[in-house]
Amino acid sequence: MCIRSSFSKSREGGQLLVQRSYLQPGRQGLVVSPAEFHGSALILFECDLLDASRDLVADLGSKSSRWGRVLFDLQIPELPDENGAPHPLSRSTLEATLRSLAGDMRDASPVLTQLEADLSRVSKDHNTVGDVSLLPFPPQIEEVMRSVEILLSHGGAPALPLRFHGMGSRSLAA
């Protein structure tokens, strides 16, 4: 089955008007079928309109992009182990590990420790501010995913993040 989708600018602004029709074999290739197109046929297909300037690096950080939706719904379950305790790979255990690692990193760095101490003085000057703590990265899994890196390497060369590659590689990856 072939469906032709034609796009044109809407008079109302930035939206696109879409006109679809079925195609059928004809003497000079595919021609528009006289059968009326029914929008319900689209539920049979999953498709995305890809812009020629698509950029996987930009898509990764956007919750509304296809890649962003994948990364913001990792489906990490809350699994108990055989004794009923949280499983080592459960969401709560992983996020507790992230919080602990962020705290360890803060405590190991004299710069971060001093910065947290300096910021905590704000609570003395402003009664609307309570305790101040500094975490070098977020302890929630979905927030960490905003900084995910895709590494590309060629042969024996060191892997480089996709953001250091050109738009051709970034577009192809998308």
> What whole-number distance in Å separates Cα of residue 96 and Cα of residue 89?
11
Judged by average pLDDT, the poorest of 112-116, 120-124, 152-156 is 120-124
Mean pLDDT of 102-129: 84
Q: pLDDT by residue (tens digit) across 43-93? A: 777 666 555 556 777 777 777 777 777 777 788 888 777 787 778 888 888
pTM to 2 decimals?
Answer: 0.54
Q: What angle do CA 71, 80, 106 make, to 5 degrees?
A: 60
- Domain residue spans of the chain: 1-47, 48-173
> What whole-number distance in Å separates Cα of residue 63 and Cα of residue 65?
6
Q: Do residues 110 and 118 touch, judged by C-beta distance below 8 A? A: no
> What whole-number distance in Å separates Cα of residue 168 and Cα of residue 52?
10
Q: How confident is the model at residue 105 (pLDDT cuts 50, 70, 90)?
A: very high
Closest to 104 (Cα-Cα) out of 63, 134, 75:
134
Q: What angle do CA 88, 89, 91 make, to 5 degrees?
A: 110
Q: Do residues 31 and 47 touch, judged by C-beta distance below 8 A? A: no
- The residues near 161 (Cβ < 8 Å, ≥ 6 apart) are 149, 150, 151, 152
> What whole-number distance in Å separates Cα of residue 162 and Cα of residue 153?
10
Q: Which of the pair, 140 or 132, is modelled with greater confidence?
A: 140
What is the residue-averaged pLDDT of the chain? 80
pLDDT value of residue 129: 65
H/E element, 104:
helix 91-108
